Structure formats: structure tokens, C-alpha cells
Amino acid sequence: MAAIARHAQPRNWQAGSMIFQRGDTGDFLIAIGSGSLRLSLLTPQGQSLILRQAGPNEIIGELAVIDDKPRSADALVLTDISGYVLGRSDFDAIADEHPQLLRVMMSHLVGMLRSTNDRLESLALYRLNARVARFLLGKLDEKDQSRRTGSATIRLDMAQGELALALGASRPKVNRVFQDFILSGVLVRSGQDVVCDLAKLWAQAEPEERLN
């Protein structure tokens, strides 16, 4: 951590700015201190696919730094961001001096791959209500993710339009699912906080019927 702190440079980005775009040279990664951004893909026809939303204590840009290839997605700032930039040459120098850094990064990348697998499974095999439930479960703190009973509070800091893009559905359909969940007691919304009944949420996330 001391070696990283010596080389990382503080930076700020304003909401609406693009930190990098798909195909750009990727010679730095960013550790986010505050604020949020969206990593997404945009087709020539204007269709957008949200890969993930990143916020405090998360890093972005690590793929290009590790494999020395172009950026694989666009990074759009949603709310003003402050963070730290670490260049590839500094990352490589630190990894040479502290090989355990590569093991930590390997664990981080495996976690990202597992998350991607879960999302692909949801999009391909589950109806929208199950996709919403699985998304909410994925937002739980680690201490709550294995619990099947009781209640848990989730901070849902995504606009409904952003959430709809992430789930591969329209905003009205996502809103309808949330209203159904509220009426059936699966969750209670209070601003950005969502209080979930875990037993009911798991029942929605693991339905007996999947898509054919």
C-alpha cells in the first residue's frame, strides 16, 4: 500500500465526462474514492449495454493495464468523481517488487468473472422479476448475501433508467416489477434505500420456471 501511495496521483472528473472509450490505449487504472461511473458498450446503431456501475473503493481500467491491450469499454462519469490514477509502468514496477500484488489482482479478476457469469445467466435464463431479484441480492453486503431469512437494506443508487439498461429491459417493465415487489411485500422503498424480505426475495430469484 505504501508503494502504491507513492506512485498514485490524485485526480478529479466532472459528471458527464468520458474518462476513456473503447479502443483507447489503456496505460493507467483508477481507484475511485468518491462518486460513480458507468462502464458500458455502445453499438454503431446506438444501442447501449451496461457492464457495471462502479463507485467508491472500486477500481476500473485494470484489464488494459494488465494485458496491455486497448480499452474494452466506455467509462462515463455519472456523478463527480475523485480518485487516484496508477500508470502501467508504476504498476509493473510495484508488482516486480511485491509479487503478492499479482495474486490480489488475480483474485479480483476472478471475482469479476464470477459476477459476469451470474449476470449472463440471469439475462439468458431468467424472466425479468427473477433478474431484478438476483440483481438486488448481488447488491447485498457480504454478510447478508448467504442469509435466506430476515431482512436486509440495500442502497440502490442507480436511476431506474440505468437499472433498466443493466437488466436488459425497458424502464416501464422494471418499474412494474418493483411495484409488484412492493405490493407483495418483497421490498419496501424509502428513497434510495430498499428494505428486502430475504425469504421472499430468494423465492423470486430462484423460480421453478425459467425461460425456455
| Whether 160 and 118 share a structural domain | no
Q: How far apart are CA 80 and CA 136, in angstroms?
A: 25
The residue segments making up the domain with residue 33 are: 2-122
| Whether 142 and 70 share a structural domain | no
The CA-to-CA distance between both ends of the chain, in Å, stands at 49
| Whether 80 and 143 share a structural domain | no
pLDDT digits (tens, 9 = 90+) for 12-69: 999 999 999 999 999 999 999 999 999 998 877 777 788 888 999 999 999 999 999 9
| Whether 131 and 117 share a structural domain | no
| Whether 151 and 173 share a structural domain | yes
Label residue 113 exposed, middle or buried (CB < 10 Å: 0-12, 13-18, 19+). Answer: exposed
Distances (CA, A) of 145 to 55, 137, 141, 201: 19, 7, 6, 11
Task: Look up the CATH number of the domain holding residue 152.
Answer: 1.10.10.10
The proportion of the chain whose per-residue pLDDT surpasses 90, expressed as a percent, equals 62
Q: What is the pLDDT of residue 210?
A: 59
Q: What is the pLDDT of residue 209?
A: 62
What DSSP element (H or E) covers 77?
A: strand 74-87
More confident residue, 185 or 158: 185
| Whether 105 and 168 share a structural domain | no
| Whether 133 and 112 share a structural domain | no
| Whether 15 and 113 share a structural domain | yes
Specify the number of domains making up the chain: 2
Which of 122, 152, 184 corresponds to the end of one domain? 122
| Whether 95 and 169 share a structural domain | no
Q: Please check whether residue 211 lies inside any domain of the structure.
A: no
pLDDT digits (tens, 9 = 90+) for 119-162: 888 777 889 999 999 989 888 876 677 788 999 998 887 777 88
The proportion of the chain whose per-residue pLDDT surpasses 70, expressed as a percent, equals 97
Asked whether the whole model's pTM tops 0.85, one would answer no
Q: Is the pLDDT of residue 11 over 90?
A: yes
Residues listed for the chain: 212
Task: Look up the CATH number of the domain holding residue 51.
Answer: 2.60.120.10
| Whether 134 and 96 share a structural domain | no
Nearest to 153 by CA among 105, 112, 110, 201: 201
Q: What is the pLDDT of residue 124?
A: 77
pLDDT averaged over every residue in the chain: 89
Q: What does the DSSP assignment read for 161-176?
A: HHHHHHHTS-HHHHHH
